[in-house]
């Protein structure tokens, strides 16, 4: 399947073409795809569906390969780490024609070696310098590696390439950042992508996050990239799509 099962999608993975059409009818302009292995993907079919719906591929999530196959960019096992690098590069090849961002979330590993993560990120970024990689700070309960924007910025600086930046996820930031708006400002021009979810991982408005302060933070760092809602799905998927439309209006 194109879109692998994920708790963050309101759509049936087997009905991805219909899902794209529905997104377009609701007025959305971009789509983020959850893909475990691009080698199993009919890329031309994806391109045709995107063009037919008038959608742009903004980003690709890669964490499914960590959950399903145990891949990790920081694993001490050379073979596991090499397979993870190869997988990221395959995602980058898929992303390149669309100028999409490839997200490095759980694929970094939960407890790996920081130096090996740095080495792997440098390898992937240098393999395709025209494709952006977005390292996502995760909360401490999901990974011990890179929990805050400042930790991510330090790692990005050590890797030393232009196409490695940061994904800011409001759910993780609510747990780890003393001030999410200040963390956004600190990310600055290294902010490549943004995920929106409330404090309880439900959609914005279902928890206690003050999103108006986050909009201000995004304005301060002059972010003009994509906002993607990555949250648990309410019983009524249509309501989630309507909420996304409202958020789009707030950001615009």
Strand partners, 166: 135, 191
Q: 15-37 burial, b for 16+ CB within 10 Å, e for fewer?
A: ebeebbbbbbeeebebbbbbbbb
The 3-state DSSP class for residue 105 equals coil
Name the catalytic one among 32, 136, 176, 177.
Answer: 136
Strand partners, 57: 31
User: Does residue 157 have an active-site annotation?
Assistant: no
User: Does residue 230 have an active-site annotation?
Assistant: yes
- The structure tokens listed for 160 are 């030393």
Name the catalytic one among 32, 176, 177, 230.
Answer: 230
Question: How far is 33 from 228, CA to CA, in rounded Å?
Answer: 11
| Enclosing H/E stretch for 114 | helix 114-127
- By annotation, the residues acting in catalysis are 136, 230
């Amino acid at each position: 399947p194109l879109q692998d099962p994920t708790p963050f999608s309101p759509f049936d993975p087997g009905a991805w073409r219909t899902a794209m059409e529905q997104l377009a009818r609701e007025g959305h302009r971009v789509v983020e795809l959850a893909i475990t292995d691009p080698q199993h993907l009919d890329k031309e079919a994806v391109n045709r569906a995107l063009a037919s719906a008038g959608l742009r591929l903004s980003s690709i999530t890669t964490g499914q390969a960590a959950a399903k196959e145990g891949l990790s960019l920081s694993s001490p096992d050379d073979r596991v780490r090499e397979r993870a690098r190869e997988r990221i590069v395959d995602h980058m090849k898929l992303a390149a024609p669309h100028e999409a961002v490839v997200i490095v979330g759980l694929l970094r590993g939960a407890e790996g070696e920081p130096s090996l993560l740095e080495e792997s990120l440098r390898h992937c970024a240098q393999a395709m310098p025209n494709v952006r990689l977005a390292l996502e700070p995760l909360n401490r309960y999901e990974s011990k590696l890179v929990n805050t924007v400042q930790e991510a910025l330090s790692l990005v600086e050590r890797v030393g390439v232009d196409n490695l930046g940061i994904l800011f996820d409001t759910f993780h930031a609510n747990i780890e950042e003393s001030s999410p708006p200040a963390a956004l400002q600190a990310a600055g021009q290294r902010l490549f992508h943004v995920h929106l979810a409330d404090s309880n991982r439900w959609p914005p408005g279902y928890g206690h996050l003050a999103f108006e302060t986050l909009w201000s933070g995004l304005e301060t760092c002059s972010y003009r990239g994509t906002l993607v809602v990555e949250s648990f799905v309410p019983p009524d998927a249509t309501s989630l799509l309507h909420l996304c439309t409202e958020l789009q209006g707030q950001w615009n």
